Amino acid sequence: MARRPTIKDIARQAGVSQSAVSFALNDRPGVSPDTRARVRRVAEELGWQPNSAARALSGERSGAVGLVLARPAHTLGVESFFLQLVSGIQEVLAAGRIALLFQVVEDIDAECAVYRRWWAERRVDGVLVVDPRTRDPRPALLEQLALPAVLVGGAGGGAHSSVWADDARAMTRILEHLHALGHRRITHIAGLPGLAHTARRMASLRTEAARLGLGPDRVRSVVTDYSDAEGAAATRRVLAEPAPPTALVYDNDVMAVAGSAVAAELAIPVPDRLSIVAWDDSALCRVTHPRLTAL
């Protein structure tokens, strides 16, 4: 393995002291502009990069942001939402030469353990927290650790910054749209139970259905793990009932496309006898025939 260049190597080649190299590379006073330029030129020629671990131990930033996903690993490979999310995050971080430290774990307890370890090791400057829970221990833990965080999908408020969508209003708009089309039996194929946005969508569904005079025997939610397999299985179950729904609302695009395939297998034409709405829009919704209604 090739040896990484050090400050000592830069000092020797530039003909200056190691202290001068440190001053030059850290933009500190104590060296002339010419010396600063020479040191930086030599550092670039040698391919020197700062040691992020050493800088973190000295109290400087680590130059990394953390993202932990506590979801079944098999669902991540088929869901386009997280690929788009990570791509968007990385596009911004890369412009600032900030790394994204990414990890998949089995549950929320393991996720909290990762935050404690990252904090103790000074691995990240902050974290992005996804999939807020209805009873979520993470915000209190992150506040206790004083680890900066942005909650993605939270309902706003609290000690942390948040980025969120109005799930309740979105569900209201979906039901208004389907009701105007004449649908009176509607099933929501939801994602993982316990997630805050799943709870918001289900609660909004019940509230809007009651406002429209539709009881739980006509409008309801069934939960899945977001995968195409469970989305297809749930679709097959509800369409086999004596009074099947005439409209299905899916919590992601993958399940909506899987549900559309099930309807085709059962010779149920979409949209003539069954309307389908996908919560997430994507290329999948546009290449399916017919194209799917999507948020």
- Residues 76-89: tens digit of each pLDDT: 666 678 888 889 99
Cα gap 20→7, rounded to integer Å: 10
The CATH label, of 3.20.20.70, 3.40.50.1220, 3.40.50.720, 3.40.50.2300, for the domain at 64-163 is 3.40.50.2300
Task: Specify the pLDDT at position 260.
Answer: 96
High-pLDDT (> 90) share of the chain, %: 54
pLDDT at 56 over 70: no
Domain 7-49 CATH assignment equals 1.10.1040.10: no
From the list 34, 59, 203, 191, the residue with the least C-alpha distance to 125 is 59
Cβ neighbours of 125 (radius 10 Å): 17
pLDDT at 58 over 70: no
Cα gap 190→212, rounded to integer Å: 21
Please identify, in words, the CATH class of the domain defined by 167-294. Answer: alpha beta
Lowest mean pLDDT among 63-72, 76-85, 88-97, 195-204: 76-85
- Read off the pLDDT band of 54 (50, 70, 90): low
In CATH terms, are 64-163 and 167-294 the same topology? yes
Q: Could you write out the three-class secondary structure of 222-257? A: EECCCCHHHHHHHHHHHHCCCCCCCEEEECCHHHHH
Dihedral angle computed from the Cα positions of residues 274, 279, 284 and 289, in that order, rounded to the nearest 10 degrees: 20
pLDDT at 232 over 90: yes
State pTM to two decimals.
0.74
